A and B are shown apart, each in its own frame.
Chain A
C-alpha cells in the first residue's frame, strides 16, 4: 500500500516512577516477568489443590485442618464433600492449563525474549501488550474469587461440559456463580491471549533488525511465533463458546441445553440445544491449546540443547517445519476427545487418522533431539538437565497417546486414569520442565545473577524421579479400570489399587515439597546469587549480546546488525567454539 521507513516502535521514553516502571509498564521485559510471576503463583496454588485431592483420595475420611475455613459447605469439619473434590479438580485444571502452561513458556519467556532475539527495542504494540497482561491478571482474580463465594468453584472440570456447566444452580454447588465466574474469567483470558498473539506475530514479521531474516530466527522465536499463530485461531473460537455459555446461563437461551432435562426435580426451561456443540467448540480450541502449551517448551529446549551440546541440531529447519505441521494438524484432531460422546463412529475414524499422523512431526522432532545429542560433548548444568528431562517425560507421556488415538482402545481407556497419566506427563510435566529449563538458562540474563547449580541439580533429580512415580502408575490404574474424577474409591474392583494410590500421593507430596528448593534458589539468587557474566552459556543469540539485565531499549541505543544464523556452534570463532549472531566475523569455511 504505502511506502514507510523502518518502523520506530520505541516511541515511549524510559518510564519514571514506581508504578510506570514496575506495575503499569509497557516494557516487554517487565510484562514478561509479570506473566512469569502470575504463572508462579498459579502453579503453587494448582499444586496445593492437587495435594488436597491426592490426600483426600487416600485418606478419604480424614479432616484437612483449615479446609472448613475455606469452604463451610464444601468441607464440613475439614472433610471435603465429593462435590468439593470436583471443585478443586476444576480449579486445578483451569489454573494449570491456562494460567501456568499458557502463561509461562509463551507469554512469560516469549514476551521477555522474543523482541530481543529478533533485535527489536520492544514489541510492536507495547500498550496492547500491557493491556494483555492486566486483562489476564483480571481473569485470574475473577477465577480465584470463586473460592470465596458461598457456593464455591464450579464442579464441571476445566472442560466445563454442557449441560452441567450450562444449567445453573439446580445442578449442584458451584454451578451458580462459581461457573459464571469461570466463564467470565476464561472469556477475559481469551482476550488477553489474542492481544498477546497479535503482538508476537506483528513483532516477528515486522520488527526484525537488519540481517535478521526468517531463516536466522532462533528456534525459540520460531516456536513462539508458531504458537501465537495457533493461539490466535484457537482462542478466537473459545471466546464465542464462552459467550454462548454465559448466555445459556443468564439469558435463558438454549445453545447447549437439550429439552426435557429434569435436575433436582426441576424441569429445566431450556430446549433444543446441543451438549455436543459445546464439546466441538471447546475441543476445537482445546487440542490446539495443548500444543500451545508444549511448542514453546520445545523451542526453549531446542535452544538450550544447542548451547549445551555446542553443536547445532541435525536440522533446525526440519524442527520448525515439524512445529508448523503440528500446528496445522492440531486443528484436525479435536474429535479424539469425543470418541465416546455418541458421535458417528465413522467420524471417530476420521479423527483418529490425523491424531496418529500428528505423532509423526512430534517423533521427528524427538528423533532430531536424540540424534543430535548422540556423540555430543554435552555440558551438564541444570538447564540442560531439565532439557534432557523434558525429552524423557515427553516421550514417556507421548507414547500412551498412540493407544488413546485409536477409538477401539479408547472405548476402554476414556475417562480412566490412563488419560490422566498421558496428559499430565506429555503436557503438564514436560511443559513444566521446559519452563524450569528456561528459568535456569535465562535467569542470569534477566537478573544479572546466576542460580545455584547444585541446588538446581537436586531440584531436578527429585521431581524427575517423582513424576515418574506419580504419573506412570496412572497408566496401570487406567488399565485396571480406575475411573477418573472420582473423589473416593468404594467399588470392590478398586480396592486392590488403593496401596498404589497411597504410593502416588506420597510421591506427589515429596515432589511438590522439592519445589521449595527451586523457590528458595530463585529468591535467594535474585538478591545474593553470584554475578553473571554477559554470556555465561557462550550462546549465540542476540539476548547474549546485551547486558544482564538488558537496558530499557534492549541494546543500549545500539542498532544491531545480524550477520549469522543462531546455530553457529562447534565452529572456530573469535571467542571460542561459537559465533554470535551479530558478530562481524565471516562465515566459517566449508559452510
Chain B
C-alpha cells in the first residue's frame, strides 16, 4: 500500500456500507408497486371500456382481515424494536406475527368462498375478475412474506451479526404488504 496522499475524486462519497438485504427488499418493493400500478391502470381502463361494470358488495370479512394484517405489522414492529434493544421476547412476537399473517390468509380464503357463495367467480364480471386477481396476487405475496419469516426466525436462532438487518428487511417487506393491502381495499371499495 502506498503512503502517498491520493487526491479524492471531487464530490465523491465513501464507499457505501448499507446492507444488500435492505437494498434488495426496497428493489423488490419498487417492482411489486409497479406491478400493482399496472393492475390498477388496467382496472381503470377496463372499467371505462365496456358497459358491463356491475357493482359488487365486498365481503365484510375483508375489513376484519385488514385489522388482522395491521395488527401483524404492529407485532412485527414490536419484535424488531425488542431485537434492537436486545430485550427478551423477540421470537414470541415474531411467532405472533406469523400467526396473524396466517390468519389473514385464512380470512382471505373465507372472503373468496363468500364471493363464490354469491355466484361471483373469476369470469363472472370484470369486477369479480379484478377482485380475485388483486386479492389472490396480494395473498401470494403475503405467503412469500410468511416463508420469509420462517427464514428470519431460523436466522435469529443463531447468534449472528446478521440478525438485525435480516429482520429489518423482512419488516420493510411486511409493512409494505400491509400498506399495499390498505391501498387495494380502497381501490376495491371505491371502484368495484
Interface of A toward B, CB cutoff 8 Å: 1-2, 4-7, 9, 124-125, 194, 197-198, 201-203, 205-216, 232-233, 235-237, 239-241, 243-244, 247, 251-255, 258-259, 271-274, 276-277, 280-281, 284, 561, 563, 565, 584-587, 591
Contact = CB atoms under 8 A, between A and B. Distances in A.
Contacts of A591: 7
A539 to B, nearest CB: 19
B38 A213 contact: no
Nearest to A270: B123
Contacts of B137: 243
8 contacts: A7-B17, A202-B20, A212-B15, A213-B14, A236-B34, A252-B122, A586-B5, A587-B6
Contacts of B168: 1-2
Contact of A206 (B13, B18, B52): B18
A565 B23 CA distance: 25
Given A236-B32, A561-B1, A586 B6 contact: yes
Contacts of A215: 9, 11-12
A2 B22 CA distance: 10
B74 interface: no
B16 A277 contact: no
Interface stretch (B43-51, B63-71, B97-105, B183-191): B43-51
B175 to A, nearest CB: 12
B46 A232 contact: no
Given A1-B165, A587-B7, A232 B30 contact: yes
Contact of B42 (A5, A208, A277): A277
* 4 nearest CB pairs, A to B: A272-B50, A584-B2, A274-B49, A252-B123
A208 B161 CA distance: 20
B28 interface: yes
A520 to B, nearest CB: 41
B27 A201 contact: yes
Contacts of B27: 197-198, 201-202, 232
B46 A124 contact: no
Contacts of A6: 17
B41 A247 contact: no
Most buried by A among B20, B30, B42: B20
Contacts, number: 167
Contact of B46 (A235, A241, A247, A255): A255
Interface in B109-129: 122-123, 126, 129
Nearest to A252: B123
A74 B81 CA distance: 65
A235 B32 CA distance: 10
A239 B9 contact: no
A1 B23 CA distance: 12
B35 A584 contact: no
A206 B23 contact: yes
Contact of B17 (A4, A125, A585): A4
A197 B4 CA distance: 39
Given A212-B15, A277-B45, A236 B129 contact: no
Nearest to A7: B20
A125 B24 contact: yes
B84 interface: yes
Given A202-B27, A243-B133, A247-B133, A213 B12 contact: yes
Nearest to A120: B20
B151 interface: no
Given A251-B122, A272-B50, A7 B35 contact: no
B38 A240 contact: yes
B119 to A, nearest CB: 15
Contacts of A272: 46, 49-53, 126
B129 A253 contact: yes
B92 interface: no
B20 A244 contact: no
A281 B42 contact: yes
